[in-house]
Every structure is written in C-alpha cells, then in structure tokens.
Structure 1
Amino acid sequence: MVRGPSEYPDLWAFLESLRRGELLAGTVTSIERFGVFVELDDGPDHPVFPGVGFISFAELSWRRFEAASEVVRSGQRLSCEFLQFDTWNLEARLSLKATRPDPLLEFADTIAVGQRLPGQVTELVPFGAFAQVADGIEGLVHLRELAWTPVETPSDVVNPGDKITVVVTEIDRERRRLALSRRQASSPGG
C-alpha cells in the first residue's frame, strides 16, 4: 500500500522538510529484530509505528554487535543524522553511527602497511579469518595469507579465540577494510 501526501499531510510535510545530514533528536521507543524506532522531538506521531524515526542495524554502530540492545536501550535519548525519507513506510531513516567517529579510520591513522600487530581470531569464513587487532577493530586474513603452505579451510590452521601475530597488508579507508597476513608475520615453514 503506497501512502501519498494526501493520506497523512502533516507527516509527509515534516518528512519532506528534512535534509540529508541534518541532526535530529529523539527517544528510542522500540527495539525490534530488524531495527530501532525513534520518536523524534520535533516530528508528528506515526500512524502505525512507535516512532517516525527508524535506525537499521547497519546504522546503529561502527562496531560489531549481536543485539541492538548492546548499542541502545528503550527510553534512551539520541541524536541521529537524517539519511533519507522512506516514502513507503513514511519514516525518517536515521544513522546513529554517523554521529560518532569511525574507529577504523582513527585506528588507520596510527598504523602503516607492513606493521606487525598482535591479534585474536574472531570468526572463520570460507575465504579466511577475521582477527581483532584493537578494541572493535577487525581485519581479514585471507586464506592465502594464513600460512606459507596452501590451506583449504581456515580451521586447518586457526580457530576463533586463537592469538596470532599479523602484518598489515592493506588499509582501505574508503571501503573500511583492513587486510592482514599471518603468513608474512612468520618465517617459511614456521
């Protein structure tokens, strides 16, 4: 069901008046498995949802989390950046993480390609392993960079929780990626 300006004129006018990047204040009204609803201080009530503002999981935090309740709590006051007017749901799509510094970019300012770092394996994926190298900062150790000898699956050489030493092989600020090598941090055959 497409909702037009004639159905909820006050809500539509409010949402159309918002500009990308604008900071909006509000209160978390509901934490759902698909995101967080926010009642905006200056906005009208929503006819269906518990708030006109909505933050998707991807826009909650720069850091990895399992549940939205690790980042926000019901009743919490927030300041969020407006991303876009969702004309289908008649809601303001918001970003909480946009109001905070990106920890990966801050970390990237303190390291260099070729630098050795201690790490801890956090997750195995078919193409490699993710390793945490600082609080909330993870990088990918690609399968070919896990060992000097060919590796079929990451679990052949590492497991979650393992402490490893890695070398930074790439810092991609634009795509927010940190590439690491366990192989380059060790000697061949070791």
Structure 2
Amino acid sequence: MISGPSENPELWAFLESLHRGEILCGTVTAIERFGVFVALDDGPDHPVFRGVGVITIPELSWQRIETAFDVVQVGQHVSAEFLQFDTWNLEARLSLRATQPDPFQAFADRTAAGQELHGRVTKLVPFGVFVQVTDGIEGLVHLRELTSTSVEKPSAVVQAGDEVTVVGTEIDRERRRLILSRRQGPTAH
C-alpha cells in the first residue's frame, strides 16, 4: 500500500469523491506493459506514479490489441469512464472502451442464430479456429464443427487467412461470445 488517507489526504479525498460511470479526462503520461497512466485534468498528482488514472490493456479497446500503442500515444488527451478506486495503489481505475459503443452488441442486434456469415480464419488452436466475421468480431468454430468428417487438427481443413462460410450457432451478448459452425446451415461443408 502506498499510503492511507492521513498521508495523502488531497488524493484520497479526490479518489473517494469519484463515482462509477463518471467520465474523467486526462493526458496519457506513460505506456507500460500492463496499460497506461493518465494524469487527470481535475485531479491531484500521484506521489509515486506518473498519473492517478490507470487504464489496463483490456480496458483500452473492445478489439483484441497487442500493445497499448495500438490505441493511444503518450501526450494524447483521453476521456475515460471511472471504474473503481484502487485503495492499494491510490489510483483511479479507468476504461477507455466503456466510452465507445460495443461492436459486439451492434453485431448481435443485426445477426440471428442460424444466420450464414462469411469470414476469414484468423487463428488455429488445438480445439478449433477463430474466424473474423466482421471488423472486430471473431467467433470460434470448434474442431467438431469444422467439417462433417472427423479431423484431429484444424490445419487438416483450413489455414489462417482462408475465407470461409460459417453459421452463427450461439450469440452470447453477456459474455461477448460467438460460436460458429461450418457443418450447419444451408451450405454446410
């Protein structure tokens, strides 16, 4: 723990005054492996870190990213939603993605289970393949759903980059999960 309310009363009071869902603005001051530090426009300085606000990698974008540099740069001014007061590090945990529409929910609004979709194989894993069906939306085709005949590994059927036709069998809004099949639907393979 960095300190308690008695050692940094101004910072503690500021962080306690924040409410979940509140939008805070600030400048990205450092990009680290785990996320970014943000110096808040209306907040005090942090006694140790380069900003009171912290946005972890998963909270930067709805899309899968490799590094924070894919989304923000040092010196960039951002608006982010307050998630929680981290009393251990005296930080405001923030979310940049919460200020943007969730592309999965928009996809789910216009897509029904059983609908035929076209996409590109992005990744092969031992239990199946991931297929990108639209910008930022990937779904999983389990190995058993790749073909009507049994195969032991996905590379026996498809390779990364292949264009495929699939059917959405499950669209889970809450978990943001899309399950696909190449065996079901009108043009099953």
8 A Cα contact 2:2 2:90, kept in partner: no
Measured in 2, the distance between the counterparts of 1:167 and 1:174 equals: 20
Confirm whether residue 78 of structure 1 aligns to residue 89 of structure 2. no
Does residue 109 in structure 1 map to residue 109 in structure 2? yes
Opposite residue 22 of structure 1, the aligned amino acid is E
* CA-to-aligned-CA distance 1:54-89 (integer Å, 9 cap, x gap): 000110000111111111111111110000001111
Residue of structure 2 equivalent to 1:64: 64
**In 1: Cα distance, 2:66 partner to 2:144 partner:** 29
Question: Which residue identity does 1:117 align to in structure 2?
Answer: L
Superposed CA deviations along residues 65-114 of structure 1, whole A, max 9, x for unmatched, are: 11111111111111100000011111000000000000011011111111
- In the aligned structure 2, how far is the partner of 1:169 from the partner of 1:59? 28
Q: 2:6 is aligned with what amino acid?
A: S
2:23 matched to 1:18? Answer: no
Tell me the secondary structure at the aligned position of residue 5 of structure 1. coil
Instruction: Please give the residue correspondences for 1:24-173 in structure 2 after superposition, counting only pairs within 5 Å.
Output: 24-173=24-173
Shift of 1:2: 5.2
Residue identity matched to 2:167 = V
- Count of aligned residue pairs for this structure pair: 188
Structure 2 counterpart of 1:25, one-letter code: C
Which one-letter code corresponds to 2:109 in the other structure? Answer: D
Secondary structure of the structure 2 residue equivalent to 1:7: coil
Map of 1:5 onto structure 2: 5
**Mapped partners of 1:73, 1:176: distance in 2:** 27
CA distance in 1 between counterparts of 2:7 and 2:154 reads 55
Q: TM-score, normalised by structure 2?
A: 0.95
* Mapped partners of 1:77, 1:104: distance in 2: 26
Other-structure match for 1:175 = 175
Quote the offset at 1:156 in angstroms.
Answer: 2.0
CA RMSD across the alignment: 1.2
With 14-23 and 145-154 compared, the bigger mean Cα shift is at 145-154
Percent identity, please.
Answer: 71
The separation in 2 between residues aligned to 1:6 and 1:123, in whole angstroms, is: 51
CA distance in 2, matches of 1:115, 1:89: 47
Which range moved further: 153-162 or 52-61? 153-162
Matched letter for residue 78 of structure 1: V
SS at match of 2:104: helix
Distance 2:11 2:44 in 1: 6
2:110 is paired with a residue whose SS is: coil
